[in-house]
Amino acid sequence: MPQLAKEISRHVGIPLVRADIGKFSNGETRVEILDSVRGADVFIIQSTCPPVNDNVMELLLTMDALRRASANSINLMVPYFGYAKQDKKKTGREPISAKVMADMMENAGAARLVTIDLHAQQIEGFFDVPVDNLSAIYLFADFFRKKKMENTVVVAPDAGGVKRARDLANTLQASRIAIIDKYRPDWRKADAMNVIGKVEGMNAIIIDDFIDTGGSIVEAVKAVKNHKAEKVWVACTHPVLTEPATERLKQLNDAGEVEGFVFTDTVPIQKEKMLKNYEILSVAPMLADTVERIARGFSLHPYKTNGGKQ
């Protein structure tokens, strides 16, 4: 994630370590660290987003190179943690892939993990090193405050997102939340069954941690619109947007169902996937503030948009 890393570097005021990362002719990942890191506390910025396995391998090999170059500590900043949905066994014979990820990162030398809006909080327990799970709630709250929206309801697209919805509602000082009763017949498809809570005549903000293929969000938007919500916004931290997400979100736009989509830059969106009503909020100031606090041995507080000050 070179652009996000550059922004964090600019905020911290420390230049990026030069690295040569690419592929050998046989497709294997090649990593070489070009600057000395001996005795340094190193922070690696890498989301394990698509192409997931390539990004994971880059991360692990970079960690190994830094460890062999005598870095004092290796701190992982993984804004989007891949494989997070695979945090438990759903059938009899399948892996707990998030635990495998944790083991690989620790075995490669991670001293700490910093991530944002981890899909399943229990993944923190898969690590034996400190895990800082940051939240993008204050970024979203600041964005919607500037809209000066009234009569607002925050909507969780499923029962698992209730805490996130309540946190945003509390931060916005909006008293109402609603919940989509979602049924998933299998892992490929989610059906929105009902809306629990009042959305009629209200401005609805649907908040989720990520959008993958877009199926759940489409069903959530349809559900709140069917229950006569006035206007609908969609906010999510990680715009993974695997196909057919772009086409699905474009159809919502073309039908006038959504006022806009608000994402962060934890996952870079390719230019061909951008739509005109996407708003991208940068997590660079929040991550830069986290780097400075960790480096100085300060505690981490919920980041607020006034420069991280409380």
In the annotation, is 89 catalytic?
no
Answer whether 137's CB lies under 8 Å from 283's CB: no
Hey, which residues does 196 pair with through a beta bridge?
179
Residue 245, C-beta contacts closer than 8 angstroms, at least 6 positions apart: 211, 212, 213, 214, 273
Report the first-to-last Cα separation within the chain, whole angstroms.
29
Strand partners of residue 204: 153, 232
Is residue 14 within 8 Å of residue 5, measured between CB atoms? no
Spell out the residues 6+ positions from residue 147 whose beta carbon is closer than 8 angstroms to its own. none
The answer to whether the peptide bond before residue 244 is cis (omega within 30 degrees of 0) is yes
Any residues with CB less than 8 A from the CB of 152 and at least 6 apart, and which?
A: 144, 172, 174, 176, 202, 203, 204, 205
Place of tokens 């991670």: 110
E strands along the chain, which residues? Answer: 19-23, 29-33, 41-45, 73-78, 110-116, 131-134, 152-156, 176-186, 189-196, 203-211, 231-239, 260-264, 278-281
| 120 sits in which H/E element | none
Vertex 201: Cα angle to 200 and 205 (nearest 5): 80
Which listed residue (182, 189, 231, 309) is catalytic?
182
Report the residue count for the chain: 310
Planar angle of CA 59, 57, 83, nearest 5 degrees: 90
Q: Which residues are catalytic?
A: 182
